[in-house]
Amino acid sequence: MKTTVIVFGDTTNKNSIQLEKEYIKRISPFSQIEYITLKEEKMGKTISEEQIKQKESDKFFEIFNKLNKNKNIFLVACHVQGKHFTSEQFAQKLKDTENQFAGITFIIGGSLGLSKNILEKAHLKLSFSSMTFPHDLFRTFLFEQIYRGFMINNNRKYHR
Amino acid sequence: MKTTVIVFGDTTNKNSIQLEKEYIKRISPFSQIEYITLKEEKMGKTISEEQIKQKESDKFFEIFNKLNKNKNIFLVACHVQGKHFTSEQFAQKLKDTENQFAGITFIIGGSLGLSKNILEKAHLKLSFSSMTFPHDLFRTFLFEQIYRGFMINNNRKYHR
């Protein structure tokens, strides 16, 4: 199964960049992994928040529709109001997806969150926490949980 | 208000250490902050998990009872099955504590979690996520949310 993580805006903190890299490297024996950064739309007086979200949504679907041309990608929208999983439940979801789909794509929104269109198209809206975290840290959480999920599914010991 | 964070075991990942340091530095204009690392008990064949938790609990209370000699410290146990807060609710809890207590102490357990005794003594059992995270990352989350809470309470802009 191919794992794709799509985000808006670069990670700027150098320690977060290093942590991301470490987890991506650790995931790679379990899954092909692709990390795609899309440019965040600039806010401004002449553009509404809805318009920004719509533009970001269009950019996302331009990439995702290519990935998903065989309609076999499971789409997960990271969303603060989404469903909460334990790490074991999340690992089970990865396993089920591996059995039924060719790939899994995670989308993390820009600072305004995800468009209604993405939220509706996603197979799963996943919440890591009721709390808001900075993008840099949030990406590290996601990569770490993907790694943890693969470790659980492969019965590999991984300390807490 | 003085903020104290007590943990078991050193942070070993150098990027996590740097991230912790960054957030601690950012918290310092808002609150005196103390970060105490206690030695984790070694697991072994001759000691049960309950005995390890008991020993760690004793170490914790040796420190905490000194901090809390005037019975004016609000104790928060970080616990996966605890209460979920939004960042705004967590900020409000910090504000309420600031109004009623001289300090707040957060305790993060070792790899076996916290003893029943600590969980019972805590004013609040706080869950950041239903997911399990490695200690290093979890500490970064906690420091970031404390910083975010003070920023919210001081009406300071802080990007998501």
Q: How far apart are the C-alpha atoms of A52 and B45, rounded to whole Å?
A: 59
Question: Beta-carbon neighbour count of residue B160 at 10 Å?
Answer: 15
Residue B157: its pLDDT value, please? 82
Contacts of B90 in chain A (CB under 8 A): 131
Residue B52: its pLDDT value, please? 93
Residue A111: its pLDDT value, please? 85
DSSP letter for each residue of A51-105:
HHHHHHHHHHHHHHHHHTTTS-EEEEEEEEEEEE--HHHHHHHHHHHHHH-SEEE
DSSP H or E stretch at residue B34: strand B32-38
pTM here is 0.94
Put simply, the answer to whether B160 touches A132 (Cβ < 8 Å) is yes
Put simply, the answer to whether A134 touches B90 (Cβ < 8 Å) is no
With CA atoms as reference, report the closest residue to A108 among A5, A1, A2.
A5
Query: pLDDT tens across B9-52, in order?
Result: 999 999 999 999 999 999 999 999 999 999 998 888 899 999 99
Six-digit token string for A31: 């899954």
Phi then psi for residue A118, to 5 deg, are -65, -45
**Average pLDDT, stretch B59-84?**
97
Please list the rounded mean pLDDT of every run of 10 residues in chain A (160 residues).
95 94 97 96 88 94 97 97 96 97 96 93 97 94 97 84
Search chain B and give the residue with CA nearest A88. B131
Query: pLDDT tens across B128-138, in order?
Result: 999 999 999 99
**Average pLDDT, stretch B88-111?**
96
Residue B159: its pLDDT value, please? 62
Q: How far apart are the C-alpha atoms of B143 and B24, rounded to whole Å?
A: 7
Six-digit token string for A64: 């995702």
A62: exposed, middle or buried (Cβ count in 10 Å: 0-12, 13-18, 19+): exposed
B84 pLDDT tier (thresholds 50, 70, 90): very high
Residue B42: its pLDDT value, please? 87
User: Which of A7, A10, A15, A148 to probe the B interface (max B CBs under 10 A)?
Assistant: A15
Q: How far apart are the C-alpha atoms of B90 and B17, rounded to whole Å?
A: 24
Put simply, the answer to whether A16 touches B19 (Cβ < 8 Å) is yes
Catalogue all structural domains in chain A, each as residue range(s) with its CATH number.
2-153 (3.40.1280.10)
Q: Mutual orientation of helices A14-27 and A135-153 as an angle, nearest 10°?
A: 20
Six-digit token string for B20: 């912790």
CA distance B101 to chain A (A): 24
Search chain B and give the residue with CA nearest A152. B132
∠ at Cα B5 (A159, B7), nearest 5°? Answer: 30
Q: How far apart are the C-alpha atoms of B92 and A123, rounded to whole Å?
A: 34
More confident residue, A61 or B159: A61
Please, what is the average pLDDT of chain B?
Answer: 95
Six-digit token string for B100: 């009623």
Residue B160: its pLDDT value, please? 58
